[in-house]
Structures are given as structure tokens and as C-alpha cells.
Structure 1
């Protein structure tokens, strides 16, 4: 057998010899699946080319030790070396022979698809999809040889380099093969997932289909038909026909884009019978290859062909039942304290900070039935069964308080906050390391009381400010299109933080900034680092703030001008409506002015509590009870304060709980338990009222409107913006965010605020008008859609999206 070239389907086609793509396709050929004819240029050919041109040491040395940011320069140099390289005669001859065998009559009459097949791609856990290059409709010997060489060099594209740097793959261990196949004159193409990649459901197939070749789909140039089918029967469960404006077709060489005929744009590519046929083929492939597959297919003359299959990576765990722990009770995922839970809370966080927050709110606003919260599959849920009598009386109380002037945020700050701040200042002076065990326990108790106190201040001031805004909107002030303008333009400690960050970026002196603002945190769970503990996060903040064009003072000045104009409209109103509007203005403004400062002080307490628990963890580790101080966050209060079961090995217990939390992080928690279709929602008088007044609050998620696929959430901050979607899962991803991007996140907390300086718009899965993201977006004057279910899964990273913050819609 030729040492460089293998027939497609060869028993010697393994990952080591022909890369992941070539090995997978060969296995499909051997088991009888319809795969276009072709041949494989193996990894031995790649190594022969590298050796003949003396490239190995140079191409391996260039990316070694390079940070992700340096991948582009290293790639350019490596690809230049490949381009200048000479094809060894014996290697070129072997490729020509295989090409002529594939196309014996007239080689130029058959176009080839030439695709890279790296040894570190299309493997379980590392698909590396799209990292290397492919070429379609390659027609001459010379074009084939050039395409092969370019495929080899694409092992070193910036994207592929960055991917391997993140995955920790040694550049010396990878090589590249090439798959060459006869082009299929496809009338339609697409991808098929043999498990639902969004929900993890293993009993569903998800199929996307477009007219022509698959390039337009892979490149995100066209909206495909989107089909969900039952895996066992192939029966269509859900379908959305896309408006397929363009298609990719073969040209004389290569491909071209052309318009789809008007009567085909909204015509389904596949009929029900074809979906059944394709689904059965996908299920068979999954069975043969042993795992759920991401399959590329095409169809010509009603014959399906498989052009690629690889394992689905990052597939969510199989769906778990999300059931109420209280029969008949209803639960919301993204309400109140749960907005500060960016992940499943740690065992200690759930039992301390979140428990304190929930209890403090319920003591002052006893609107919900008990139990007020629950951990369901490890995720924090808030009770959605309300006391109707209590709720019905609240609007009247607020309006009466506004009309009489009894509710005034400025007066509350002067009356309550001095005592709370004195307590907080005193707690900051205590050094946990100097306290005895019982004193440390008492200190933690006082901090948890402070957590509850400051969470109540956030809740009260935010809710009252928002209600003031909503009520004044009902008064319908002539000429006032956006009542929110009345309640923005508030100076605060968080704006002071932005000013200090800008000074630190300019001078390079960060000590003063961290001394005052280093307590900022990612979430209310004490297991997360503070800004002071995270130099990488601080470096990212400094980089981001350098990109921001408009500073806080200029932004504040502009917002104050808008507010003054809006206030004039309110003051010009006469009669009872004018009187009520002015009182509501005072109510809302006097509370809105202090929300950010309450958040600032709340974070001070969270940072102190984290330091206290770490001291407890340090003592437990010193005693040999746990491995390290951070393990304390995987214990419960009774386990850390000494009343634990002596038989239980806490080292094993914390390891098990860490693994369990990591598993639960991969779950997809539903926003409502039970689902909204359940009668417990549809018969509830309050939720029936909400559905009639504002259906968007309940009817969220992916929908199709006027032939377009959109994601419906809740209006958070008005405006409309277009930009590149950038999925940010946490502070570790901040360096990916660029000016003008649209921030896509599950939720945000104050440590995310610098990103709002440069974002075109924001989309979050969590929250509503009370959330941190909504408040900050309104201050920055950028559109936000919050409560957008599955945004981090539905919106493809890097795609262009339009954020309509006024309508609560994201155009995909």
C-alpha cells in the first residue's frame, strides 16, 4: 500500500494515520453508509512534507509558550513557511495517482471537496470543529496539490492555535491529514445532531437544512429550516421553515453565492418522509460510532450522503426531572436573590449568604408562601406562590406613601444607614485570624446579619425606584416617551469606582483602587474570588476601561440634561395627575439615587464573610480535617463549627460535593417549575393577570416572527443596537470582549460593570427590571434584553445580532 495515500474506508485509516475526520468517514464506509467516493492523504504525507522542507523544529518552536493573544503572529509565520515549501516529487506523484483513479475519465469534470483532518479533531471531548480549512469544487491536479498543502498549513491557523493553547495540547504531538472526496451535486445540505444539543435530550434529533451546498449554513449566511424529530420514529416534533434568501452552488472552480428563487425561500428543504429517512440514518450512525454525533449531510436526487460525522462535544447531561419539592408549589429560577447566583451555589453559600438574603426579604415583604426557596437539582429557586391579600394591598400602600410624601429614600438613608455603616465599619476592623474559634463563629453571625440588612436595602430601594418609574408611566406624562430618564443620572460609589479605575489605568498605580474597591465580587456565593484576589481580572478591567470612549462624568452630564428635560415635562402638568406625577417623581428619584451605594456596601459584607470563612477553612486544613482552605465552601455550617459527625470523612465529602456541583453546573435549569403549560400556572389568578397584562414576561424563549427567528425576553433598557454576539460565561472570559460587541451572559453582577462601558448592547438569561444588568444598562444608555431564556445556548458566539431593548427581543 502507498505509504502516503489510503482509500477512503481503508482498515488502516485510524486517527493516527488519517486524522479524526478521515478515521470517522472510513468507519462509516466500512459499515455501509453512503459516503461520497474519495481518498485520504495521510499524516505520513504531512510529516514527509515537513521533513523535506526542514520545518518541524521551526513550526513547533513558534507556538510553544505563546499566549492566546500571540497566536496570530505565530500562525502567519508558520503558514508562510508552508506556502514556500516544495512538494516532494514522490509525494506529489502519489496524490496525482489517487486523483486520477478517483476521476479516471476526465479529471476536470469532477470537482473535489478537500478537507483537513487533524489528529486532534473530531474526537470525543475535542471536536475542534472549523479550526482547519476546507475547499470545495477543486478541479485540476495543480489545484488539488495546492489545496492539500494549504490544508496542511491550516493546522496552524490562529484559531486552531488558540484552541490548542486553551486545551493544553503540545504542538509537537499534532499532525494533519487531508480528506478528498467527489463533490455531490447537492440540492440540499445541512447538519444533524443525534441528540438535542440545547437540552441534552438523547431521544431527539435536531436537523438544520438549506438549499444547495452547506457552506452558507456553516458560515452563518442563511437562516436554515430547523427541525426537531423523535429519534426512534423520525416523526417531526417541531419545525420552523427559515427564510433561505441565498444558497451556495458550484462555480467553474470553487463555489459562489446566488439568490434562492422567491417560491423556494420559505419552502421546506426536507419533507416528512425524508426527515424520517435521515433520522434513521443518524440513529444508525450513532449506534455504530458509540456516541451522539454531529453529522454533515447532503441530498441529491433523493439520495442522502454523509460527508462528515464527529462526536458532539459539550453535550448537556441527559435531562433530569425538575420537580417541585412541595406538591403543587410553583418556582421561579431568576427571581430576587437567585439573580446573584450565577451558578449552583456552594453548600456553604446556600446555607449562609443566600439563606440570609431570602430570610431578610421575606421578613420585611412576606409576600410569598413558605418555604420561600429551595435547591432543585442544586440550583436555587424562589417560591412563586404569593399571598394575594397582602399583594393586593401593596400598590395602594405605595401610591398613598408617594402621595403623602411618607416614602422618601433620602430620609431613610439619613435615618437607617448611619447605624448600618457604623456596624459595617466595626466589622471591617476585626481580623479573623486573631479571633478564637467561638469569636470567629460569632463574627460570621454578625456578618450574616449585615448581609441580610444590606440585601434588604438593595431590595427596597430598587423595588421602590422601579415602581415609581412604572407608576409614573401609567400617569402618561405628555411628551415623556421614556419615564426611565427621570430616574437615571445618579452619582454613586460605583461611579467613583469607574473614575478610580480610569486613573489606575492611566498611572499604572492600582494600590489605591484596590484598597477602596478590591471587595467587588462575582456573585453572592462566598466561594468566588474578590477583585483584590484576582490579578487577572484586574488586568482585564484595566484593559477594558482603556477602550471606553465616554467616561462616567460625561455620561452623567448627558443623563442629567435628559433628566432635567423630562422633569420639566412632569412639572408642567396640572391637576390631580400632575400632583400625583410629581409625588411619584420624588418617590422614585429619592430611592433610585441610593441603589448603587447599597450594592457597594453589600459587596463589602460579602468580601468580609469570604475572608472569615477562609480563615475557618485554614484552621480546618491545619488540623488535617480538609485538604485546603477553599474546601470550607463545600461544607455546611454545622460541619464547620465543630458539631459534625466524627464518622464522616470531610476530605472525601468535600471532593464528592465538588464533583457534584461541577456536574450540576452543566444542567440546564428551567426558568419555571413546573413548566408554564401546567395547570398550576394557568389557573393561578395572579399569573393569569400577568399573562393578560404583559405576556412577554411569561411567553419567553425562541419564537418565529415575520419569518425571522428571534429570542424573546423582557425589556430591560430601551434602545436598539446591532453587534457581534460575545458569549461571556464569567470573569475568565472578559478578555474576549471587544468594543462594540453585544454581551451575552447568564447574569451579571457589579464586577461585570466595566464591560458595559464598551458594549453595544446586553442580553442576559436572568433577571428583569430589578436586575443589576438592567439598572447598569439604563445608566450607560445601552439596550438590554433580560430574562432571555437559553440565550447562552441559542445565540451563536460571533454571530451578528440585533438587540431591541424596548421590545425585549433579540433578532438572531
Structure 2
């Protein structure tokens, strides 16, 4: 028989050879449960070899393929006709004698009696799709003849109408499927049901759900009865929800098989399971989940106080878990705020950044605290998370007013020292050190490095990045804020006359890194416009299409040399500016990873409708110089002139330095992401992860363990289920609107003073047509709101839209070229959004606290940057 004579026709239930290919999905799962010592009814497998032999020796394969070749999945009648034709073929032929003999022998060794005969297809009960109910099960089969007939009926059920249609819709070729059969002792169940190791209604992974009914489990599976439903907390074992149904019918055994009969009246509303039985069933469910390392759907039966597992398969579809309803404080009397560096973390954090990034920041904060004499404040959890969002833990500052004054006084001396050396520390130490380490790792062949060395390098780069940011935060940023505030106050009160320009005029028109990035992209577009056909072809591409073609060697319709030149220029642009971050969390791509985010702005520049950014900057520079000359001419001499010149120089020096500093926060992120994704690639190869990017959803300790195993040639455990849970949790958390301060009532009280009126976000606003915020860039504009949650939505931004975002960072700057106004949840007069909006001369209202929650793309809104309001014109 061409080599197949050596393949087994029958296998013991727990035989190690019971693989998916030989015994199908259901059989392989039962074999795995039995081999692990779990309570599975004894039985045996009739392997796929037996099915294939039957089909081959009876000459059925050609007729089967001919029958299914004429189906149309949109016409159920064709599926039914094919199924009936194939079913008749099976009924007309007998099982070959040697196969029948092998089944008889296995049945006899099982002890004969009542058995369950279950179909087990080779494309069934798999994690990526569910074939549940596609093939048949026959219960209470007794005697050799009934068992053999049931086996053949199971084989035929591989070709039911629903199974044929299901496979066709999932592009599974009919010649690629086969069927095994599982024969097991029938459990004469007093009760039966289903256990889900995750709550299938809410996706709560900390809960299990149990369905239970009297008799055999077919009444539940077939929907003839509403079972009892119990939801149980895994950790405590407490039943958190209990629904006891009226169970009117149950499936029972008969001489010919099974049938439904009424449940005795006294048992209809009686709970099926006792508390002790519930606890035992949950324990078994947890063992199965740990064995498979993923959520499981388990069918069980109960007979004489003993549980039996009759089927287990991965849960293939879960709803998104519900977002938490409460903002539970890590410390009962704590104070938590979202400000400063947290403005660069608008979304919930990835597990890896939470366990690697935040600790690095906390270590440098602790060092700063020692320098300032504030070591009590900067502890190991100074940066912490609540519902996945980053918060500063300011609990140590929950003190009386006089103690707060003393703390501020003690730290002022050291703080002024840091401010005085801000520029030097940034330009001569922090940035060169950060750039050197980034360049060093960029030059390394990552594929040749051990996984442990890659992780060491990542840790090293994150440490230097945190030190770089703290250099900005402890020097350039506060110095810039103070210098602008001091100059503005002095100018508005002691210098400005009725027709003089506002103080802002003196601080615009400087070149900073985000502006240089915009001008470089404009230069690229201007060059592309001079090349034959290049601009026309690029303008026809979508962002998604550009993502696919920009690295290709050729582009249809464009001369190859021109395209190569464009690619070189574009890649050089990414190398120069592609490290700008959308989010401090290194799990988020940067433009160097996904340049499609820049493409809509590039197309805007190619269209010829975009203002020239050089002209805009030159105009602002001319207005600044003219205003300065007027003031200098008017003052001539004296203390006011000296103060004006000193304060102006201080503010003008620090304004662009602040933007340059922020623009380089992610200088090492492109290579950090490459290094982590290289580790991820190796974990995918070992099947521990499904994709390279799943590496960001591991914790540092998990990654360290996995890296150690990789380097020692061992296979790490699968993290795929853990990653899936964490991604789902992150997605639910991302729908929340984090309060700027916790607790939500009184959380703004720090150092004995209430900072509520200084906080930029106003999450407590009532639901009406006007949102209040901070007027951060003057002017008034009415337009179409465009809510953008992240770089993957940048392509939605159209020219003239009003940009609505949680927060913007330097990497968002290309959208400002398209925007007619800006609205954010978080931010103030000195945040990045404010600075760039002023440079682009577009109105901005920041710190609304809830714009992304209250506004929808397409609504007409008015942004009034003069008074800090957003008016909603359309619901």
C-alpha cells in the first residue's frame, strides 16, 4: 500500500504518536490531557490513516473532489447537494476488513460497553479558528456493529454542508483535510457542562465561567436547555455571579443512543453543582489552562462525584476586556499627577517600558533628589502607573503649607545651580554621550550579537536616554519656561504700549529641530517636483501604498535613476530626523520605522498649495527684528533698556534650545527598537512569540529569562497567550481618559497648596458645547475637527482640519503644516504644541482634559486661542 502499511490504524488515547496529523485536533487535545494525568475517559484513536485507506481503497477521492468542485459558498443548496452526494458514497461502501478488525480489537480491549464516538478533523480545535460543531459525535454506541457504523458516519461527516462551506470560506483546500475518530468510554453523566477559563462575556482573565445542566452535555451544546451559569474568581474561588436556571430537559441514554426527556420537577431549579464541586472543577480548569498556556473551552461530565474532561480546545474569540471603572490609588492617601515628562506618555505604557523604562527614569530622579536635598521625594516608584497610565507619585509632598515652603527654600540653591549650567550640561555632556552610544550600536551587526548582549545594550541606551532627558528637565526646560515668563511679564507691564506687538513676537522665527525637519521635507518635495513624472506618481499613492514601495528598487511610471535618487534622499531624511518620538514608550514606532506618517505632509508640499516654511520663518524673523529695533530705539538707555536686553537674550537663547532638546529625546530609540525586535525575531523563531513586536509586551524579568534560554540553546516557554491578554488590556485602558491628578477630588493639593488653577487639563468639565482650556496660541478659526490618536492615523489628516490630540510631541510637527488649529487634552502655554502652533501662526487651545473624548472627527468646531475655548457647532 505504497508505504502506508506501517502507519498505525489505531492508537491508545495517550500514545505519544497521537499527533494532530494522525488523530486530528480533538484527538490530539484529548491525548495531551490524558498524558498529563488529567481525568479523561479511557479510549482509543482511529487514525487519519484509516480514513485515507478507506477513501483510497474504495476509490472515493476523485468523486469527493468532483462533488465539492461545483459548490458556491453563496448558494447553500449547492453545499447541501455536494454533502448528500458524498454521504451516499460513504454509505454504499464498507470499511476494509483489516481496519474493521483493528477497531474491533481496540474496542474489546477497552472493555466493550457504551462508548462515545467523536469526529476529530485535522483542521479542528486549533487556536486560530474553531471548527466546533462541523463534524458529528455519536453517544452511547454499544457493540462492535454500532461502533463501526458510527466510525463510518463520522468519516462522512467531514463532508457535511456546514463543514464544506466553512472550509471554503477559510480557503482550506478539500484535498488537505482528513479525519480521525476518538472512541471513549461513555461517562453516564449525572451532570455535564462547559467551563471557560476566561469569562467569555467580558474577557476577564481573572474569572472562569461554568455552565452546568443535568444529564449528558448534549442538551447544553445543542441549546435545548438553559444551564446554570456561575462566574468564579480564580484567585479566591469565590462565586461572584450565580444564575440558577429552570432546567426543563436533559439528555439521557437509551438502548438506541440518547434522547431528551423532562427533568424531574424537584431538580429543575436545584443548583447542579455544590460549592465543593465548583472548587474542584475550577482547579481542573486551571490545570488545563496551565498545560496549554492559553484560555480554554472545556467540556466536562460528572458521575458519582468524579469529574471527567471530554474535550478541551482553545477559546478562539474573546471580546475586548472592559476598561477599569475606577482609578484605584497605589497608596490610599497618595497624590498622583500627570505632567512634565508624562506629557510624552499620552497612552497606557507597554509592559516592557513599564519595567525597563520607568525604573531607569526613577534611578536618575533619585540621583537628582540627592543633589537637591529631596531624596525623600524621589523614591523607586516616583514614576508609577495607574490603570496603565504613567503618573508622578507626589505623596511625599502631601504636607502642610509651612513644610512645603521649607522644602522649596532648601532646594532653591541647588536648583539655581542646575539652571545656570543647563546649556553647558546639555551640549557638552548629555547629548554627545547619548549620540555616541546610539551611533556605536547603529554600527553593530545585531544578528551576530548574543541576545543577552543586545538586552544589555538596550538597558545601557535607556539609562543614557533617561539621563539625557533629566538634563533637559532639570535645566533647559525650566530655564526656558522661566525666561519666557520673566520677559513676558517685564515687557507687558513696563515696556509695551497700545500699538506694540505682544511679547510672543520677540520669541518667534528661530530655527529649531522640528522646523529644520519640516524645511528638509519641503526641500525634498521641491526637488521631486522638478523630476519627470515623480511628483505625479507620488501624488497618486496612498500612505499605505507608499509604506510598501518606498524601499523598492523601482516605482512604476518613474525612471529608475530618479527613483533611486529620491529613495536615497528620503532615507537620508529619516536618518537625520527619524528619531523624533510620538511617544516616549519605545514600544511605539518612530518615523524611521514607519515613514508613511510623513507622506501626507510630503504630498501637501508636492501639491504646490502649501506655504513655504522658509517664507513663514523669515516673516516671523523680520517682525521680531522690527519690534526689537522699535523698543531699543525708544528706550535708548537706562535700567529698563538693560533689563529688556538681558531678559530678551535669555528667552531667545533658550526658546529654540528647548525644542532642540525635546526633539532628541528619542535619539537612541531607532536602534533600541531594532535591538529589541532582533530579540523578538529569535523568540518568534522559537515559537515563544507570534510577532517580533510582541517583545514589547513582555516584562523585563520575562525577557531576561527568555534571553538566557535563547543563548543557551534552550526553548523559552510560549508567551503568546500572555501577550494576547496584555494587548487586550492595553486596548481597553486606552479608551480611558486619565485624570490629570489623583485622587480626582483634592489631588491637586500639594505642599499644602492647591494647584488646580495651574493644572493644564480640565477633566471635570461638564458636558456642554464649550470646552475650556488654555489659550496657548492666539487667533480664532472655525473648521473640521480631526481626532488623531497616534501616527497610524496621520493619513486621516486633511489640509485645513483642526488637529485634536491628547498631546503632541516634535514628531507630530508635520501635521501642523496641514492644520488650521490645534486642540489637545494635555498641555499649556509652554508645551510643544503651543510653541509649534505659534510658529505656524495657528490658534491653539490646550489642556482641555477631554477633547479627544468629547470631540469626533468631522464635527465643526471653533478654536479661540485668545480666550482658551473650543465651541462645538455640530453634535
| TM-score with structure 2 setting the length | 0.51
Cα distance in structure 2, aligned partners of 1:609 and 1:729? 23
**Are 1:345 and 2:349 counterparts?**
yes
| Cα distance, 1:350 vs structure 2 | 1.8
- From 561, 575, 589, the equivalent of 2:622 is 561
Structure 2 portions without partners, runs of 5+: 1-73, 75-318, 398-403, 529-533, 535-565, 710-714
**2:649 pairs with 575, 581, 586, which one?**
586
Distance apart, 1:745 and its partner CA: 1.1
Deviation per CA, 1:345-364: give whole Å up to 9, x if none. 11012223344345435643
**Deviations, residues 634-654 of structure 1 (Å, cap 9, x unaligned):** 111121122799996422222
Could you tell me how far 1:451 is from its partner in structure 2? Answer: 1.1
Deviation at 1:759, TM superposition (A): 1.1
For residue 593 of structure 1, give the secondary structure of its aligned residue in structure 2.
helix
Residue 735 of structure 2 is matched in structure 1 by 666
Which residue of structure 1 lines up, in the alignment, with residue 772 of structure 2?
712
What is the alpha-carbon distance in structure 2 between the residues aligned to residue 634 and residue 424 of structure 1? 23
CA separation of 1:580 and 1:502: change in aligned 2, threshold 3 A: same
Matched, 1:540 2:603: no
- Structure 1 residue aligned with 2:819, among 752, 759, 775? 759
1:44-102 CA distance string (max 9 Å, x none):
xxxxxxxxxxxxxxxx9xxxxxxxxxxxxxxxxxxxxxxxxxxxxxxxxxxxxxxxxxx
**Residues 702, 709 of structure 1: 8 Å contact kept:** no
Q: Is the 8 A contact 2:825 2:846 kept in 1?
A: yes
The answer (yes or no) to whether the contact 2:437–2:461 under 8 Å persists in 1 is no
SS at match of 1:725: strand
Q: Distance in 1 between matches of 2:762 and 2:681?
A: 48
Structure 2 distance, partners of 1:351, 1:712, is 36
Q: Distance in 1 between matches of 2:336 and 2:794?
A: 32
Could you say what the CA RMSD is over the residues aligned between the two structures, in angstroms? 3.4
Residue 325 of structure 1 corresponds to which residue in structure 2?
A: 330
| Cα separation, 1, equivalents of 2:466 and 2:866 | 33
Rounded Cα–Cα distance in structure 2 between residues aligned with 1:671 and 1:731: 23
Q: What is the SS of the residue equivalent to 2:823?
A: strand
In the alignment, is the contact (CA less than 8 A) between 1:711 and 1:788 conserved in 2? yes
Asked whether 1:438 is paired with 2:443, we answer no
Residue 675 of structure 2 is aligned to residue 612 of structure 1: yes
Counterpart residue number, 2:8 = none
The equivalent position to 1:375 in structure 2, one of 358, 375, 385, is 385
Q: 2: CA distance between counterparts of 1:400 and 1:442?
A: 33
Question: How many residues are aligned here?
Answer: 487
> 2:487 maps to which residue?
472
- What does the per-residue CA deviation read over 1:522-556, in whole Å, with 9 as the maximum and x for residues that have no partner? 21222222323325324323224446632221121
Report which stretch shifted further, 338-347 or 595-604: 595-604
| Residue 527, structure 1, aligned to residue 587, structure 2 | yes
Q: Which residue of 468, 472, 476 corresponds with 1:454?
A: 468
User: What is the CA–CA distance in structure 2 between the aligned matches of 1:806 and 1:395, rounded to whole Å?
Assistant: 34
Conserved in 1, the CA contact under 8 Å of 2:580 and 2:664? Answer: no
Report the CA distance between 1:498 and its aligned residue. 1.5
Secondary structure of residue in 2 paired with 1:630: helix
In the other structure, the counterpart of 1:743 is 803
> Structure 1: where are the runs of 5+ without partners?
1-59, 61-313
Farther-moved stretch of structure 1 (354-363 vs 787-796): 354-363
Matches of 1:419 and 1:732, distance apart in 2:
32
Matched, 1:487 2:550: no
For residues 351-410 of structure 1, give each alpha carbon's deviation from its aligned partner in whole angstroms, at most 9, with x where no partner exists: 2334434543564366755431221111111234546544356778778999xxx45737
Change (3 A) 1:542 1:650: same
Quick one: distance in 1 between partners of 2:357 and 2:425? Answer: 28
Q: Contact between 1:744 and 1:792, CA under 8 Å: does it hold in 2?
A: yes
Task: Give CA deviations for 1:480-520 in whole Å, capped at 9, x if unaligned.
Answer: 66333333322133323212212333415223323333334
Aligned partner of 1:92 in structure 2 is none
Residue pairs, 1:670-681, within 5 angstroms: 670-675=739-744, 677-678=745-746, 681=748
**Equivalent residues of 1:714, 1:785 under 8 A apart:** yes
Structure 2 matches for 1:234-273, cutoff 5 A? Answer: none
Matched ranges for 1:140-289 at <5 A: none
CA distance in 1, matches of 2:835, 2:813: 11
1:627 aligns with 690
Q: CA shift at 1:796, angstroms?
A: 3.6
* d(CA) in 2 for partners of 1:415, 1:526: 23
Determine helix, strand or coil for the equivalent of 2:705.
Answer: coil
Using the size of structure 1 for normalisation, the TM-score is: 0.54
Q: Kindly tell me: are residues 399 and 720 of structure 1, through their superposed partners in 2, closer, same or farther at Cα, counting changes over 3 Å? A: farther
What SS is found at the alignment partner of 1:767? coil
Report the CA distance shift for 1:489/1:663 in structure 2 as closer, same or farther (over 3 A).
same
Secondary structure in 2 matching 1:449: helix
CA drift of 1:620 comes to 2.0
Is the CA contact (8 Å cut-off) linking 2:804 and 2:851 kept in structure 1? yes
State how far apart, in whole Å, the 1-side matches of 2:326 and 2:335 are.
15
1:48-59 pair list within 5 angstroms:
none
- In structure 1, the residue corresponding to 2:599 is in which secondary structure? helix
Instruction: From the superposition, tell whether residues 394 and 756 of structure 1 become closer, same or farther in structure 2 (CA, over 3 Å).
Output: farther
Q: Distance in 1 between matches of 2:476 and 2:680?
A: 35
Check the 8 A contact 1:457/1:598 in 2, yes or no.
Answer: no
Write out per-residue CA displacement over residues 152-179 of structure 1, whole angstroms, 9 at most, x where no aligned residue: xxxxxxxxxxxxxxxxxxxxxxxxxxxx
Cα separation, partners in 2 of 1:390 and 1:721, compared to 1, 3 Å:
farther
2-side partners of 1:654 and 1:400: how far apart?
46
How many Å apart are 1:749 and its aligned residue?
A: 2.4
* Match among 694, 700, 703 for residue 640 of structure 1: 703
Helix, strand or coil: the match of 1:391?
A: helix
Q: 1:433 to 1:596 in 2, by over 3 A?
A: farther
Find the counterpart in structure 2 of residue 500 from structure 1. Answer: 520
Is contact 1:408–1:586 with CA below 8 Å preserved after alignment?
no
Contact 2:362 2:378 in 1 (8 A): no
| Residues 702 and 710 in structure 1, CA contact (< 8 A), matched pair in contact too | no
Does the 8 Å CA contact 1:339/1:747 hold for their aligned counterparts?
yes
